[in-house]
Amino acid sequence: MADAPTLPLRVPEGLRWSAATAAFQVEGARTADGRGRSIWDDFVDTPGNVRDGSTAEPGPDSFHRNREDVALLRDLGVDRYRFSISWVRVQPDGRGPASPAGLAYYDRLVDDLLAEGIVPFPTLYHWDLPSGLEAEGGWLSRDTAERFAAYAEHVAAALGDRVKHWYTINEPVSTSLQGYAVGVLAPGRQLLFDSLPTVHHQLLAHGLAAAALRARGADAVGIVNNHTWVYPASDSESDQTAAHLYDLVHNRLFAEPVLTGAYPDLAPLGAEMPVQAGDLEVIASASDFYGVNYYNPTTIAAAPDGAPVPFVPVPTAGAEHTGFGELWPIDPAALTAFLVDAKQRYGDDLPPIIVGENGASFPEPDRVDGPLEDRQRIDYLAGHVSAVADAVAQGVDVEEYTVWSLLDNFEWADGFTQRFGIVHVDQETSKRTPKTSYGWYRDLIASTR
């Protein structure tokens, strides 16, 4: 077995450590205790939508095996655990009273985490919109933001006496652009720029939910978005313009309303947001942190004449890539660049940053007999922890780093074909086997105590 790389030499002092999962990806038990249907149930049950035809069952089966997950977290030594709460377990139809049986699962999980000295850090929404709300317009409808606020109130009433740290919405960019614009994620719509109202309604939902959580005693509330550093494919004016537009749509459109209380100029897209009086004040109500999920930079070229959108992603020259292919390049320096640019761009409007997800998938076997040596993942993680340290050295306030993912899980439209976990999971038996990256991360955390 090859030696693992040396622990990163550049680790920010006082950085908190976390690992993450999401409900639909790890829980299984899709019909247990009256759980309702979400847009992801509908998406995976439609033939052809998921690469390997899988349906997230049983997968890690964390609904029944969550104490194994807590034990893994305890032995890892993390400060916090980022998990998500399934809206359709709490409100099977997306409205009305909360389900006591659905809430009981999260109540037990919170207590088990606290008993091990691990801070529970739930995400209220990780893409599992109730199907009934999607049938009424989903995130295209302003009413969904109100429904989300009511759901947040139910969860806060049940858990807010013990849970003080919350993410509201995970990666609104993925929901808007991949779910509603091009249809490769649930709910599978292909509206292109007509999808943009979903941006505003998710951000409004964040603001309304944050108020509900704070009213129940939350200490820290924030949203988390998938961000990317954008490289133009060349020095040509057309590629530079295309890169600017992509940065506008992927990054600034989601960050600026939350951080500055205003949308960027959307005239180049010919778009307007459905803003009503008071909305931006709700959206920009002081965030206690800003969550950044980061996986890779994006290189953008101008799209051919007549294309429906003005930009197209292309491979990043000279970069290795993860198991997702050449459009997922490995470039830790791009994380530093994004964080430093955010600090320079937003200044005092930028609260402390939490890296809410960072990780990589690589080809790995479905079954193992012992610890899988995943040197590529260790190298990836080491490089990105060092990248965070480089940003901190340049004045960026980063409080926490989160590995995605604790477990191999159901990777959305790619099913069980992509493995991000630092713990291997046999997706048929749910058996958990820590990989060498698990031991590396455990040792890294221990070295900072």
Burial (CB count <10 Å: 0-12, 13-18, 19+), residue 325:
exposed
Q: Tell how far CA 216 is from the center of its chain.
A: 24
Whether the Cβ atoms of residue 105 and residue 29 lie closer than 8 Å to each other: no
Measured distance CA(25)–CA(171) in Å, rounded: 15
Q: What's 421's DSSP letter?
A: -
Instruction: Give the long-range contacts of residues 133-141, CB within 8 A, separation 24 or more.
Output: 133/94, 133/95, 134/39, 134/42, 134/187, 138/39, 138/180, 138/187, 138/198, 139/175, 139/176, 139/180, 139/197, 139/198, 139/201, 139/202, 140/180, 140/195, 140/197, 140/198, 140/201, 141/201
Whether the Cβ atoms of residue 195 and residue 263 lie closer than 8 Å to each other: no
The residue with tokens 């720029």 is: 193
Strand partners of residue 18: 80, 402
Measured distance CA(395)–CA(14) in Å, rounded: 15
* Active site residues per annotation: 171, 357
Measured distance CA(381)–CA(68) in Å, rounded: 24
Could you list the residues known to form a binding site for substrate, using ranges: 25, 126, 170, 295, 404, 411-412
Measured distance CA(406)–CA(396) in Å, rounded: 26
Packed helices 100-115 and 62-76: angle between N→C axes, nearest 10 degrees: 20
Give the CB-side neighbour count of residue 99, counting CA atoms within 13 A: 20
